[in-house]
Amino acid sequence: MASVALRSVSKSFGHVPVITDVNLEIADGELVVFVGPSGCGKSTLLRLIAGLVPVGAGDVVIDGEVVTDIPASKRGIAFVFQSYALYPHMTIARNIGFALETLGLSRQQIDAKVTEVAATLKIDHLLSRRPRELSGGQRQRVAIGRALVRQPEVFLFDEPLSNLDSDLRMEMRMEIAKLHASLAATMIYVTHDQVEAMTLADRIVVLNKGRIEQIGTPQQLYHAPQNRFVAGFIGSPRMNFMAVSANASGADCSVQGPGNLSLDVTLSGPGLPTEIGIRPEALSIAIQGQGKVTGTLERLEDLGHEHLAYVRIAPDIAWSVRLPNALGKVATGTSVGLDWRFEDLFLFDRDGHRLDHSMSHERSAAANEVRA
Amino acid sequence: MKTRLERREHLSGLLFVAPLIAVLVLVAGWPLARTLYFSLTDAYLDDSANHVLVGFGNFVEVASDPVWWRAVRNTAIFTTISVAIETVLGLAIALLVHGAIPGRGLVRAAILVPWAMPVVVSTKIWEWMLNDQFGVVNRAIVGLGLADHGVAWVANGSLLLGVVIFIDVWMTTPFMVLLILAGLQILPEEIFEAAEVDGIPWWKRLWSITLPLLAPTIGVAVLFRVLDALRMFDLAYVLAGANVNAMTMSIYARDRLINNQELGVGSAASTMVFLLIAFVAIFIVGALRLDRSGAAER
């Protein structure tokens, strides 16, 4: 098992920078997930670690050893591709055991290892078939088996589940989590699916335009995003935002915005908020005239296990509200108030950095009273 | 029972292929039928209307002519050796050009030049370069001190077939390169990346991954080339005329038909060439089908 580190890694394709100055330390046995919008460079970063793409600048370190100039095959890694990349003309058994054929093992040793791995992944009944005779989920298992059989130091997964339907994806997600727990191997996992990221990761790396926006546990990213990008990227439906104007005198700051928004906040550091953000699940609908913001209930969606409400606050601002229960007697088109707890409010400055704040004293006291 | 819609679709399908069928009957079916008919007669070219049916006599005459068998042997040798060399060379060049080498586009264009030239032109060029007294090849050989005097490449009967093979390889290897390159480019790259990560050495990647995946492409390319080589006429004829050392089956048929004016015997020889090529084509196509259904192991 091994740790992985990236030191000031950059990469350009032609004149287009894809990865810019990435620094990252991944501990031995950790499962780290790279997430980001498409084109953010997450797959390229994985390929740089694998050695399938040479780095432009900086160093890749695996198990304390600089491997920047070492070929992929000598880095002690295994790579699971989105397309599975199985050899179409070989049987499943040979697909899994192919890498072992060059290691000087006997036929029996290879067969034994292949059988063992296939049994772990419950594909031992498919060994004599060919890839095209398998379903997507089975092919994914074969691809993982091919990685497992080599007993690598580091597993690299490039969107391994994105070609599967949602049921299978959930099943394979648990399978990979189980695998990680039993092998205690270092794993790096690229996905655009934040559910996969939140459920699998020890730590998540959020990438945007080739830069790391934030590194943290799923909880840190959700509860304490460092900036507007991470706040907007993690969470579904995404966080509601609103541009605001603010006046500060010392740490005390009053915030004004559309929908009769008027808040007093106490800033814990420098900077002035220009935008606020609140997650849909932190919002509640109050009767008209109450709450911190007013708007018009535009649409209600019943998803069975939850209800989504869309409230238009200004012509160009509509917030989504996630409610555990149906919104009984409120008809669409009526004016409603939206309320939230103060600690659920995020403030962002002009550059998108999140500003720490605490509740203003009076309201804090009031809130505590209510809760007690 | 077919529904009305199905019948209508069937009918419109027939309607669409009808023009093609008509043209094929006109340009291929009719001449073939005429050739078959004349092969059973004693007709001469100068007065083809004046003939009687003689059964399979012409076929017997061709089959008992040692020159015919010499032509069959020449054609077989030519086809086997030239297609084999072209395939191996074409594969090697395609693999080389497929890799990311600088100026790859230019190399690809340059490779095509021999293929783009008319056969007669390249044959004449080579004939001159191989000329025993004035040719640049002999000049180089003598100049480098490899031999005291030039080799009579084209005049020496025992070398003639070799020269035909050499020029054909020079001319048609680009075709092989192009076909195999096209096949290489549609192979999924991730498979090779997977092999790279798995530490599979290049020769095993070539032997166990590239070649099996490329087999259908190579099969089709070989089929094209074999059928082309079995019909070989222009190159050998321009270089050697009806010289028996380089005489192919097509040249034999032409020799009987035009030079000897024997329409009947020439048609019989042509028919035999046609049947032979058809047989080989069916055999190769059958072999390719087998491969495609996945019966081939490892």
- Give the pLDDT score at B162: 93
More confident site: A249 or A273: A273
- Give the pLDDT score at A187: 96
A87 touches chain B (CB under 8 A): yes
CA triplet A158, A162, A163: central angle to 5 degrees?
Answer: 115
A309 conformational bin, left if phi > 0, alpha if psi -120 to 50, beta if neither: beta
| pLDDT surpasses 70 at A270 | yes
A83–B204 CB contact, under 8 Å: no
pLDDT band at B294 (very low <50, low <70, confident <90, very high): very low
pLDDT tens sequence across A170-197: 989 999 999 999 998 999 999 998 889 9
E strand segments, A154-251: 154-158, 186-190, 203-208, 211-216, 240-243, 245-249
What pTM was estimated for this model as a whole?
0.81
pLDDT band at A245 (very low <50, low <70, confident <90, very high): very high
Mutate to test the interface with B, among A47, A62, A74, A81 (most CBs of B within 10 A): A81
CA A187 to centroid of chain Cα atoms? 15
Name chain B contacts of A74, Cβ cutoff 8 Å. Answer: 199
pLDDT band at B292 (very low <50, low <70, confident <90, very high): low
Q: How far apart are CA A168 and CA A273, in angstroms?
A: 43
| pLDDT surpasses 60 at B179 | yes
B200 touches chain A (CB under 8 A): yes
Name chain A contacts of B204, Cβ cutoff 8 Å. Answer: 101-102
How close A180 comes to chain B (CA, Å)? 20
Q: Using CB atoms, which residue from A50, A86, A101 is nearest to B197?
A: A50
Mutate to test the interface with B, among A47, A48, A95, A98 (most CBs of B within 10 A): A98
Name chain B contacts of A81, Cβ cutoff 8 Å. Answer: 190, 193-194
How close B92 comes to chain A (CA, Å)? 22
Residues 6+ apart with CB under 8 A from B88: none
How close B213 comes to chain A (CA, Å)? 7
- Give the pLDDT score at A361: 41
**Mean pLDDT for the stretch of residues A131-141:** 92
- Give the pLDDT score at A155: 96
CB A9 within 8 A of CB A19: yes
B193–A79 CB contact, under 8 Å: yes
CB A79 within 8 A of CB A187: no
Tokens of B67: 């020159």
- Give the pLDDT score at A363: 43
CA triplet A91, A95, A100: central angle to 5 degrees?
Answer: 130
More confident site: B61 or B151: B61
pLDDT tens sequence across B76-116: 999 999 999 999 999 999 998 887 777 777 888 888 888 88
Q: How far apart are CA B240 and CA A12, in angstroms?
A: 59
- Give the pLDDT score at A360: 44
Helix ranges, chain B (H): 4-24, 30-38, 57-63, 66-98, 104-111, 113-116, 119-129, 136-143, 157-185, 189-197, 202-205, 211-230, 234-240, 249-254, 263-292
- Give the pLDDT score at A166: 87
Q: How far apart are CA B120 and CA B238, in angstroms?
A: 7
Q: How far apart are CA A175 and CA A185, in angstroms?
A: 14
Q: Using CB atoms, which residue from A78, A86, A87 is nearest to B197?
A: A78
A81–B194 CB contact, under 8 Å: yes
pLDDT tens sequence across B20-62: 999 999 999 999 999 999 999 998 888 888 888 888 999 999 9
pLDDT tens sequence across B200-232: 999 999 999 999 999 999 999 999 999 999 999
Question: Which residues of A, range 26-65, sit inside 8 Å of B by Cβ?
Answer: 50-52
| pLDDT surpasses 60 at A238 | yes
Name chain A contacts of B218, Cβ cutoff 8 Å. Answer: none
Rounded to the nearest integer, the mean pLDDT of chain A is 90
Q: Using CB atoms, which residue from B188, B200, B294 is nearest to A98?
A: B200
Name chain A contacts of B209, Cβ cutoff 8 Å. Answer: 87
A102–B298 CB contact, under 8 Å: no
Question: Which residues of A, range 333-372, sit inside 8 Å of B by Cβ?
Answer: none
| pLDDT surpasses 80 at A91 | yes
Q: How far apart are CA B248 and CA A249, in angstroms?
A: 102
Q: How far apart are CA B136 and CA B159, in angstroms?
A: 18
A89–B204 CB contact, under 8 Å: no
B196–A52 CB contact, under 8 Å: yes
- Give the pLDDT score at A1: 64
How close B284 comes to chain A (CA, Å)? 21
pLDDT tens sequence across A337-367: 999 998 899 999 999 999 988 754 444 334 4
- Give the pLDDT score at B295: 42
A83–B190 CB contact, under 8 Å: yes
B297 touches chain A (CB under 8 A): no
